[in-house]
Chains A and B, each alone.
Chain A
Amino acid sequence: MLYAKNRKLIATAQAVVNYKDKKAEKVITMRKTFVSMIAAAALSAGAVMPAFGTEVTLGRFFGSCQDAGTDVSAAVGEACIIQSIINAFDAENDDFDVTTLPTDWGNYYDQIIASYASGNPPDVHVMHRHRIPEYGQIGALADLTDDLMAHGIDPDDWTESAREAVTWNDRILGVPMDLHANLWHVNMDLMEAAGLVEDGRPILPSSPEEMMEHAEMVREATGQYYLAADFSEFEIGVRMVLAFLWQQDSNIFANGTATINTPEARNALELITGLFDGDYANSRTNYADSQQSFLNGEAAVLVNGTWVVDFYAEQAADEDVELTNYYVADFPTLYDEPATWADSHLWAIPASVQRDDPEVYEGALKLLAFINDHNIDWARTGHAAVRESVLNSDEYAELPHRSEYDNTVNIARDTPASARYGAIQDILNREFQAIWLTGKSIDAALSDAEEDVQSQLDR
């Protein structure tokens, strides 16, 4: 097709040349040479230029991956796996040309909102389950319900929770990609040294008191931290507190009323500040530092999500990395009910694309079908798959460490749906960090957080 296009270019150029007056043959000869040169340049450039299909712009987070290529099976980590899937689709489909827009995790949703407001959103973009209410209630997203089957996407193959994740007012607004949750990533060597390994599995605490005992055992035996997490940047600390709240059958709000200033929240926060007070954890570490300290063997447990399982497994296999004996565990139950924070990544198409640009909509849907077909590859990151056919496959069961945290899908929780999810998470992150970074009292922080969350719910 590309060759045909270039031939057409040469033909057009020569037609222009032939049109010229024959008397000016000399000039024409020069022009012919010039046009041929341009055509030749275009032809040679064509070898490296992407195909001229309909452009489909794509917005995503997950970070950047240089030279992702098209070999999905060779990719490691979220960024490279998703980009290689996109590249593979691009290579297989000459009719469409997918352009991945530059975005950044910290400002992703701000960029997406701004792009919707300016009338120029990406033709297809990734988002979280928790954002569906915000976009769903104003009709920003395309209703895909009636178009999925025709494009080879079978919603009946999705798990119930995945279907719920993309459904708003009984209509399907997206294609789910995973369920991701907080896990305990464990350094088995440190746990072994502290006598916290049994039958090849780490012994995890079953009560707050036991967690402190284990922390002390690790400290005494190894001199290292018991637990590391990002307590000073993103919301990992908030997600830990939320899990402890749910485990006590409490939540941050219900039916439009904030319920944060509660004894359960105080318990959860005292548990975490107890770790800092005993020097069993460092409150000052951000995401990168906490991860690095785990890989360096400076913490027995790292609280982080499913998205890093394959990366840590790869790092553990590296001789230069201190972490060698890596294990993944479900978030432990310290109170009454098991629970861990979870969310879902999903892909959506703006309503304006469905309405105004059928060709692009077609391309975006084909891309989503392609991503849906590669659900097993995405699950390699460590995320839980959303398709029953993938979940029940041997290939999925054999993924590294998968069996170690297979109960996570059953204990996955999140806060109630709200269009103000982002702002509420920010409030909790600010107030909880104020407790362990600036010494604000738990009572004052909980009272301020409740007031601020209530004012968000009232808006």
Chain B
Amino acid sequence: MNDFVIGYYALLIGGSCLAAYYQKRTPFLLLFSLTLASFIMGIIGGEGALWFVTIVAGIIALSAGTSYAFREFLSIVLPRDMARAIRTAPLTASFGIFVVMTYAIAGIFAPVIAPFGEAEVISSAFAPADETMLLGADQLGRDMFSRIIYGARNSVGIALLATFIAFFIGAIAGLMAATKGGWFDQIMGRIVDVVMSIPSIIFALLLLSIFGTSLTTLVIVIGIIYAPRVFRLARAVAGNIVVMDYIEAAKLRGEGTWYLIRKEILPNITAPLIAEFGLEFSFVFLLVAGLSFLGLGIQPPTADWGSMVRENATLVSFGEITPLIPAAAIALLTVAVNFVVDWMLYRSSGLKE
């Protein structure tokens, strides 16, 4: 029994007692069940297991604290309407916004933040971390940290662009189909069915091996593969709007299809479309990473998280976690985006507790 273990249990038990005394039901149950679980973990896993629990709890507490402070910060800085929306947002949402903003800053200011260039070889292969290289070197001796920062720019940028293309094609086609109906709707619907019936990664591999793997083709191919999902959503949501009396009134006024779409329908479906944008972005991002991992995505020497995982995969067998860092970057962004999307979906669906 060393000081850490004693302190650990003392803190948990003390906390439980305080919570029980002040009749805080949920914190008490949480703390005390953690205490009981720690007894078992301590017996089986020894001090290491307790350290693990402490670190995980610390990370959660840190993120929660950051999110809380960030939310308060936003609600003070932003204009009134947005501030009100932010203040009622859950902590997960502000955590999501925080992470997305961090990625955006890393991507935009990559050349300033990264100490070395993305293709710059500065040491031997797989060199361990030292003062100049925060995360060590990759299989060619390039700085891992710099490549991750640049990766934010490349991977996220491409995913964003592809999602935009998917939305542009899908939303316009969907809105046209909903407004026009009839044969146009039928034809678009069947085309979409065909595209959706082929698994996306296989379809992407097929198209990329036919048209080559330049950045432009990559973005367009992914955009086309993901457009059908947007089409279906846009058509479904717009379908509910098209039957409204105000659309009938506009039609009877003699307005054209383009006016109907732009001025009457689009403002009413932006909320679900934005929420879908976040969700699609995550999928597109994972597809880009997956394609890079397979060697058909972003080509070397451009830094990209997907290919970085593949290139450094051998290190895992030596007990190093370096290749997992780009993977973690992907995971964190996906989770963060989904947190924000969840919140937006909640707001747009008008669900109130």
A and B pair up? no
